[in-house]
Structure 1
Amino acid sequence: MIEIRQFGWPDHEAVVGLWASAGRDVVPRDELAAKLQRDPQLFLVAVADQTVVGVVLGTYDGRRGWILRLAVDPTRRRQGIASGLIGELEARFAALDCPRVNLLVLPEDTGALRFWQALGYLPCPDVLCSKPMTTPEIRIT
């Protein structure tokens, strides 16, 4: 039996290990702490026999929901865990009256694209632009 519930800090090490084993970037602890201040109910884990076997990080900015860092233990894939996590996350977005949910898929990841399309997510011809927000150097003159 799989239980899907909100992330708690005791889950942190297991989530980091799961992201790493699934080839996902690990979100730094300070970024997670900041995220949890806004919408902690959108950070979910799937647990089987007291072991974290899946995770998804959702966020909502008041206009759009975003799905980030979905990962399932490689030995537990194709058991409905990812679909269950997304179903619960979508229900939580709906409870917030979120009108649209977005996510990013790498173009070469055809398996992921098929998964998301099967859940009703359609590709958009948008262009992603990104800028790292680093702390500017302070110059004393």
Structure 2
Amino acid sequence: MTLHIRTFEWGDWDAVAGLWEAAGSSVLPRAEVEGTLGRTPELFLVAVDANGVVAGVVLGTYDGRRGFILRLAVDPGRRRQGIGRELVAALETRLRALGCPRINLFVLPDNPSGLRFWQSMGYLPVPDVVHTKPL
């Protein structure tokens, strides 16, 4: 089945939220997504099949110095079909067009399949220590 990758539209929200839940991720608060879209709306992509069903989603951002992949999810019933790879490639293309020199992302160490996926896409682990503080 052919997929079309395009920029997220608010009409996709329920499908994207459902996909995040089905993939085992928490649903980001709408206000947080609105804030991200206010800066880089072209970096929130959905993969839609011929029937208009959202099969995958990737959310990226760019701060003018580094790109970040904040979240990638593919419908669990459609994994291992290249959807995630296509979404990441499309996001990389858009980040490159913005002049982004590097993309960062976080993968939890208890996610070996995620680690393998990202390494197969050329993303390498770095020994940086991550610090965070909720506000």
Q: TM-score, length-normalised on structure 2?
A: 0.97
After superposition, the C-alpha distances for 1:13-50 in whole angstroms (9 at most, x for unaligned) are 00000001101121111111111110000000000120
CA distance in 2, matches of 1:108, 1:34: 29
2:52 corresponds in structure 1 to 50
1:63 to 62, 65, 82: 65
What per-residue deviation string (whole Å, max 9, x for no partner) do you get for residues 86-112 of structure 1?
Answer: 000000000001000000011121111
Identity of aligned residues (%): 60
* Alpha-carbon distance in 2 for matches of 1:38, 1:113: 28
1:119-130 aligned at under 5 Å gives the runs 119-130=121-132
Is 1:107 aligned to residue 119 of structure 2?
Answer: no
Contact 1:2 1:46 in 2 (8 A): yes
Contact 1:70–1:82 under 8 Å retained in 2 = yes
- Cα drift, residue 119 of structure 1: 0.7
**8 Å contact from structure 1 (residues 19, 69) kept in 2:** no
What is the match of residue 24 of structure 1?
A: 25
Say yes or no: does 1:9 pair with 2:32.
Answer: no
Give the secondary structure class of the aligned counterpart of 2:130.
Answer: coil
Number of matched pairs: 133
1:137 corresponds in structure 2 to none
Compute the displacement of 1:6 (Å): 0.2
For 2:32 and 2:122, the matched residues in 1 are separated by 29
* 1: CA distance, partners of 2:27 / 2:130: 21
Aligned structure 1 segments of 4 or more residues deviating by more than 4 angstroms: none
TM-score (norm 1): 0.93
Secondary structure in 2 matching 1:4: strand
